[in-house]
Structure 1
Amino acid sequence: MQPANYQAPDLAAAAQEATDDGELRRFLEAMRRWQSEEPAGQVEITPEAIRSTVDYVLSPHLDNVPDEELSATVFTLNEYLSALAETAEARLDIGRVVVAQSVTRARAVVDSVESASLRGARLAASTARDLILLLEQEGRRGDRAEMAS
């Protein structure tokens, strides 16, 4: 159980600061510990947090990290993908082919067998990036349609 004043670590800020292998290993270990802790309530997932994580995973920082050390990172990305897929289903026209395919792809990545690898982490990151872009583009299109009526 977390103390009342517990705040979840700012993973995006930590990721941007982790620039060498030692710091990266400490960052990944902190993510593993954070994953195993019981959160003191609902953790809000923001687009900025997802973008920062995606940018970090797609950067060269992870090039030399062994696959077995990426499980917490992949877990986090899969949680982001699940949340993004739910948001897309709730906010976008799921009858549109691009939306349906993007949601299906996100769910397939979450369920993929090779998720605990660098390749799996990067696949999840790029899928999350694509889904965020789709949500932004389609959301703007919906806003324009509402404004026109």
Structure 2
Amino acid sequence: MKRRMAVGFMLLAAMLSGCVAVSRQYEGAKLPTEKLAGVEIGATTRQDVLDQFGPPVVIQKRDFEGLVSSIGSSFQGDELTLQLDPKLLNEVFIYEYRRVNRFSVLLILFNYFSSVDKSDRIMFFFGDENRLSGYGLSEGLKEL
């Protein structure tokens, strides 16, 4: 009887053996949101943004050919005339600070993984003469 209990206990211990991991990963630099007070739409230039905020994580430019082909694919007819605002083709600077929290339990019979990914993001939109036409701030890290 004692031998069965010992074997049962050893099997239970073997099944429950494993590891637990908790990690936190940061990507990018913390965003200097206090500098947004010095940003003025229509006056701040592209170079001013680069000087104040440094290089962006992403510089996004609209794909003109992709835009036209997506419009053309939904059009049915013989003639298509497009009038696009040139501002649609300007660059967008994206600054992002991301945090990822991970938790995992690895056992022989059971595995559990959890990952929560949140980020703060500033986007700067440029218009005529590389002047700022707008910006947006999303603060997702407050949710963690």
TM (normalized to structure 2)? 0.29
> Which protein is richer in helix relative to its size?
1
Higher relative contact order (CA 8 A, sep 6+): 2
> Which protein is richer in strand relative to its size?
2
Q: Which has the larger radius of gyration?
A: 2
